[in-house]
Amino acid sequence: MPKRRQLRGFDLRQIEGVAELIGVDEAGRGALAGPVVAGAVLVNKGFLEGRWALAKAGRVNDSKQLTAGERDELWSEFEALVAQGQIHAQFGVADVDEIERLNILGATKLAMRRALEGIYAPGAFEQKTEPDLFASPEMIANFKPTVSCRVLIDGLPLRHFPYPHQGIVNGDARSLCIAMASIIAKVTRDRMMGELEVQYPGYGFGQHKGYGTEEHREAVLRLGRCPQHRDLFLRKLLAERVDPAQMDFLGG
């Protein structure tokens, strides 16, 4: 079955019973440097059954499986879809200080929350018309808010997260809106890392995007860390390769 039909078909099944879906994914969670970025993309049934999704959704994939050129081209198309009101798309960022303070999971949830808040405040898609004072006890006891939007997050469900959601393992390869969100997150973060390349030359941020490549590790050993490095990640990765006497230098 063509991937277009797989991704669209998954979302068409998920949207049954609600008006909209929001797909959420992140980029940069496993990097040694730079922020973690989340993307969020809202779609409705009209979009999923519309011309763009029918003709072009087959080009959408997990962002890691696409070339930089393919991601940039899709980003431009997403911008046009937003301008036309066919989708909503946002991104959220958690910086290195927040990663150090909250740990990477907490910072990832913060970035996702910020992306979602660009579309809806927590609880805004729940219709909370409660029974009035004259309703029967049974009606009051059985009342449940009607959810008009379903949030799909790539990976396992998140604990202590303000948005009701479903965790979809390998969601960026299964859901169209999650795959679109993964592209938003990846392109946004890559562009940010390109800016950090200029600000902190010599580390190769524009090439490896802050991940733990051999070139990146060698640059850290040669230059020491910069303010965009995640201390805990760096120490764990380099501990086996560095003389303990050098760790103060790397952590400076």
Give the C-alpha separation, 55 to 77, whole Å: 13
> Is residue 69 classed as helix, strand or coil in its secondary structure?
helix
> In 3-state terms, the chain is what percent helix, strand and coil (to 5)?
50, 15, 35
For residues 96, 99, 104 and 106, what is the CA-based torsion angle, rounded to 10 degrees? -140
Alpha helices in the chain (DSSP H): 3-14, 45-48, 51-56, 68-83, 96-117, 137-142, 176-199, 205-208, 214-223, 231-238, 247-250
Please state which CATH number belongs to domain 3-201.
Answer: 3.30.420.10
Supply the pLDDT for residue 62: 73
Supply the pLDDT for residue 26: 98
Give the C-alpha separation, 194 to 21, whole Å: 31
Supply the pLDDT for residue 251: 41
Angle at 127 between CA 150 and CA 42, to 5 degrees: 30
pLDDT in tens, 144-195: 556 689 999 999 999 999 999 999 999 999 999 999 999 999 999 999 999 9
Give the C-alpha separation, 143 to 127, whole Å: 11
Taking CA atoms, 245 is separated from 4, 232, 241, 249, in Å, by 54, 17, 12, 8
Domain ranges of the chain: 3-201
Supply the pLDDT for residue 2: 41
Identify whether the C-beta of residue 83 lies closer than 8 Å to the C-beta of residue 54.
no
Supply the pLDDT for residue 249: 39
Amino acid identity at 22: I
Residues of the chain short of pLDDT 70, as ranges, are: 1-5, 126-147, 237-252
Supply the pLDDT for residue 135: 60
Supply the pLDDT for residue 130: 54
> Is residue 118 classed as helix, strand or coil in its secondary structure?
coil
Say which residues have a Cβ less than 8 Å from residue 50's Cβ, sequence separation at least 6: 86
